[in-house]
Copies of this chain bind each other. A is one copy, B any other.
Amino acid sequence: MGIIERKEREKEQRREEIVTAAEKIFFEKGLAIATMDEIAEAAELSKGTLYLYYKSKEDLYLAVAMRGSEIMYKMFLEATSPEKSTIERIAGLAEAYYRFFKQNRDYFRMYQYFDNSQFHKQVSQDMLHTCATNDQKIWDLVIGLIQQGIDEGLFDADLDAKQAAIILWANGNAIMRLMDREDTYFTEHMKLDLEATLQKAYQLILEGMMTKKGKVKYHAIRQIEETV
């Protein structure tokens, strides 16, 4: 039945159109200030139709955030292409996360709500499950790579790959959140270079986890990067 297939395709398209409209509004205003009427207008649909495709404003918000998640995953895949050495791939991941932040700040910003347990309660189980699946892909990639580093003797043998992944992520995420603050508290009032702080944090943590062999290889690639 070609018609059923076409209809499904069109339905999927409509879903995407709605997400595109929502994205525009959420990027401009954030979750709290954006309204469903605005989104409906941007999508050239009635508000009622939005609710045929998404259960709530919060679900729609997460649907937009998922786009960011997919972009990040693709950037991570590119940063870890198999022709590179393990150490390059690991350094590449940290760089890719920062590039994601710089180039897709609107998406990065949307993630703030993920940690909020009150927000979780306003979201459907379905959508939460989709998010968790997407997240898992990314964690698997990072953790797998760190495990490979451990196996190759670049990282301490007693390092837990999962712990290491969390620590690296936590650092980067928290410092980038500070960078994203629009007030001038840290940059002007505290006269702090947050980008340098981020680099320093990554360096401290990565080197703290590495074996002598790992550090040698890590410094070698950083040398090359700096001379380029």
Residues in A lying within 8 Å of B, measured CB to CB: 29-33, 109, 112, 115-122, 128, 132, 135, 139, 160, 162-163, 166-167, 169-171, 173-175, 177-178, 180-183, 185-186, 189-192, 194, 196-197, 200-201, 204-205, 207-209
Contact = CB atoms under 8 A, between A and B. Distances in A.
B204 A167 contact: yes
Contacts of A204: 167, 204-205, 208-209
The 6 A-B pairs at the shortest CB distance, nearest first, are namely A30-B118, A170-B174, A204-B208, A174-B174, A117-B182, A167-B201
A182 B117 CA distance: 6
A177 B30 contact: no
Q: Of A170, A173, A175, A200, which is in contact with the most chain B CB atoms at under 10 Å from its CB?
A: A170
Contacts of A194: 166
Nearest to A32: B118
Given A162-B191, A163-B197, A205-B205, 18 more contacts: A29-B118, A33-B118, A115-B177, A120-B183, A128-B183, A132-B189, A139-B190, A162-B190, A163-B192, A166-B192, A167-B171, A167-B200, A167-B201, A170-B171, A170-B175, A171-B171, A204-B209, A207-B208
Contacts of A201: 167, 170-171, 205
Contacts of A116: 30, 112
12 contacts: A29-B118, A32-B119, A33-B121, A112-B112, A115-B178, A162-B192, A163-B197, A167-B175, A171-B201, A204-B204, A205-B205, A208-B208
